[in-house]
Amino acid sequence: MKKLIYLSIIILVNACVDQDTPGTTFILQNDSSHDVRIIPYSRNRVNGEITDGSTKGDVISIIKGDRKTIVREHRENKTFYSIENVDAVRVIFDESKVLIFICNDWPSMTNCSTIFLGDSDNKHVITEQDYESAQDCNGNCN
Domain boundary assignment for the chain:
32-136
Which of these ranges, 42-51, 118-127, 130-139, has the smallest mean pLDDT?
42-51
Confidence check: pLDDT of 13 > 60: no
Higher pLDDT, 109 or 10: 109
Reduced to 3 states (helix: H, G, I; strand: E, B; else coil), residue 48 is coil
pLDDT of residue 17: 46
Check: pTM over 0.85? Answer yes or no: no
Confidence label for 36 from pLDDT (cuts 50, 70 and 90)? very high
- pLDDT of 125 strictly over 90: yes
Q: Is the pLDDT of residue 3 over 90?
A: no
User: What pLDDT score was predicted for residue 50?
Assistant: 78
b (16+ CB within 10 A) / e for 25-55: ebbbbbebebbbbbbbbbbeeeeeeeeeebe
Position 45 scores a pLDDT of: 80
Average pLDDT over all residues of the chain: 84
Cβ-in-10-Å burial (0-12, 13-18, 19+) of 68 comes to middle
Neighbours of 126 (CB within 10 A): 22
How much is the pLDDT for 80? 87
H or E element, residue 14: helix 2-16
β-pairing verdict for 67-72 and 36-46: unpaired
The one-character DSSP state at 13 is H
Span 12-39, average pLDDT: 78
